[in-house]
């Protein structure tokens, strides 16, 4: 495997300042729509990067569950590794790797917990077994084996039967409030197009082109 020889050209097209929307959320909405139209696998999946109090970073894939001018929303166990990191260091980054479109979007910002009624509204839309799984899994804690996890799931399923499954106290969501958003479009000869929006006062955004 000569991995150092693996390469390809990026030829799908460029990104021009004149084509950019006024805000990063508008630009993101357009690119997400195009990712959906292109039938990408999991276009709402994003890599969430956090860092603990010591500065040790960690990453994982989570799903975007909403966005607007306020920020980008995801849901999780509030006692998980990522949640513990956010509790000590709320600065996070999101990466949307739309590789087949030769695009990336990077969001830099601060994670704040959403209100419980917002988490409740989303939790109700989850499939019933996913609701049960939220109760069954002590996310990021060590577990003896797969059988133990299945036993915990079966116990919760038996406990609630056909009754409504309540939102766990330890489960909720975060909204990433962006202070900068970068849009990357691959270009030939590694001359990629990169534009970064930076938050300014009164909800305004500045835009800069970055060297590839």
1 has pLDDT over 80: no
Please report, rounded to a whole number, the percentage of residues in the chain having pLDDT higher than 90: 92
**Could you tell me the two tokens for 1?**
């495997």
**Given this model, what pLDDT does residue 6 score?**
86
The string of pLDDT tens digits covering residues 103-116 is: 999 999 999 999 99
Q: Could you tell me which residues are annotated as the binding site for FMN?
A: 60-65, 75-76, 82, 104, 139-140, 184, 194
Q: Predicted confidence band at 67 (pLDDT cuts at 50, 70, 90)?
A: very high
70 has pLDDT over 90: yes
**Given this model, what pLDDT does residue 96 score?**
98
Which region among 12-16, 20-24, 32-36 has the lowest average model confidence (pLDDT)? Answer: 12-16
3 has pLDDT over 90: no
Average pLDDT over residues 38-48: 97
Query: pTM (2 decimals)?
Result: 0.94
Average pLDDT over residues 171-178: 98
Verify whether residue 103 is a known catalytic residue: no
**Could you tell me the two tokens for 155?**
């116990």
Identify the active-site residue in 124, 128, 190, 209. 190
Q: Give the C-alpha separation, 108 to 167, whole Å.
A: 29
Q: Please enumerate in sequence order all residues whose Cβ is within 8 A of that of 59, keeping only pairs 6 or more positions apart, or say none.
A: 47, 48, 49, 50
The string of pLDDT tens digits covering residues 179-200 is: 999 999 999 999 999 999 999 9
Please report, rounded to a whole number, the percentage of residues in the chain having pLDDT higher than 70: 100
Q: Please enumerate in sequence order all residues whose Cβ is within 8 A of that of 210, keeping only pairs 6 or more positions apart, or say none.
A: 182, 194, 195, 196
Q: Give the C-alpha separation, 147 to 57, whole Å.
A: 31
Q: Give the C-alpha separation, 48 to 82, whole Å.
A: 9
Q: What is the 3-state secondary structure (H, E, C) of 170-195?
A: CEEEEEEEEEEEEEEECCHHHCCEEE
Q: Could you tell me which residues are annotated as the binding site?
A: 7-10, 60-65, 75-76, 82, 104, 122, 126, 130, 139-140, 184, 190-192, 194
**Given this model, what pLDDT does residue 71 score?**
98
**Given this model, what pLDDT does residue 8 score?**
83
**Domains contained in the chain, CATH given:** 7-209 (2.30.110.10)
**Given this model, what pLDDT does residue 78 score?**
98
**Given this model, what pLDDT does residue 77 score?**
97
């Amino acid at each position: 495997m000569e991995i150092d020889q693996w390469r390809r050209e990026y030829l799908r097209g460029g990104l021009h300042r004149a084509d950019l929307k006024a805000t990063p959320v508008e630009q993101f909405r357009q690119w997400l729509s195009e990712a959906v139209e292109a039938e990408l696998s999991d276009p709402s999946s994003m890599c969430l990067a956090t860092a603990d109090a010591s500065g040790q970073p960690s990453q994982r894939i989570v799903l975007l569950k909403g966005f607007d001018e306020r920020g980008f929303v995801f849901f999780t166990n509030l006692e998980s590794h990522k949640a513990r990191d956010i509790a000590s260091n709320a600065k996070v980054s999101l990466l949307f790797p739309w590789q087949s479109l030769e695009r990336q979007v990077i969001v830099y910002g601060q994670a704040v917990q959403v209100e419980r009624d917002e988490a409740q509204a989303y939790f109700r839309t989850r499939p019933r077994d996913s609701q049960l799984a939220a109760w069954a899994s002590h996310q990021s804690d060590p577990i003896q084996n797969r059988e133990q996890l299945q036993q915990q799931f079966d116990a919760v399923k038996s406990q609630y039967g056909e009754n409504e499954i309540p939102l766990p106290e330890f489960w909720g969501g975060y909204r990433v409030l962006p202070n900068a958003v970068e849009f990357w479009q691959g270009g030939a000869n590694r001359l990629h197009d990169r534009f970064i929006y930076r938050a300014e006062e009164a909800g305004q955004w500045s835009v800069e082109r970055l060297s590839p």
